[in-house]
Amino acid sequence: MTQQENTPSINRDQTSLRAAVPDDAETIHRLISGLAGYVDAEHKLKSVPDDFRRHLSGNPPSFYGLIAEYEGEAVGLSLFFPSFSSWRGARGVYIQDLYVAPETRASGLGKRILIEVLRTAHEQWGAEYLRLAVDENNLGAQRFYERIGMHWTSDERIFQIDEVDLLSLMDSD
């Protein structure tokens, strides 16, 4: 079957986008689990639904979410938050996660979610740029981002430190 034949017949009228709320915690976790499975990283997923509930309930929340629904079922999401670039002197948006369920891929839904995130971030906090990271094995997502005009940067590397080492580092001085 070709990609065209495998493309779902979903149109804009059949899908809706809405802001995520704390009661969506289980749905968010289910979709994030789908993303982890897609990139073969289930072993890295440590979050539980209560994490999403707690962090969406903050004032301000730790992140914002957008959920895509098709025929009443959540089939996509994006989790995002404000960022600031000292080099640009501007506010931006960082997309932590963007996921579209396999049965709705190649339908334009991913682009629609991304555009709505940009609109929301621009309207709510004046975002002037977008940043995100993509799993190096997620070639489909990389092609998607390139297709819509994004480019990867080779001049930066992402560093991280996890909780145990973070606490150890804090205690080292």
- Residues 87-98: pLDDT tens digits? 999 999 999 999
Residue 168 — pLDDT band, cuts 50, 70, 90?
Answer: very high
Residues 6+ apart with CB under 8 A from 52: 22, 24, 25, 28, 29, 65
Helix or strand (DSSP H, E) at 100: strand 90-100
Residue 154 has pLDDT above 80, yes or no: yes
Residue 150 — pLDDT band, cuts 50, 70, 90?
Answer: very high
| Alpha-carbon 12 to chain mean position | 20
> Bridge partners of 82?
93
Does the domain at residues 3-171 carry the CATH identifier 3.40.630.30? yes
- Residues 117-138: pLDDT tens digits? 999 999 999 999 999 999 988 9
Q: Under a CB-based contact definition with an 8 Å cutoff, are residues 105 and 96 in contact? A: no
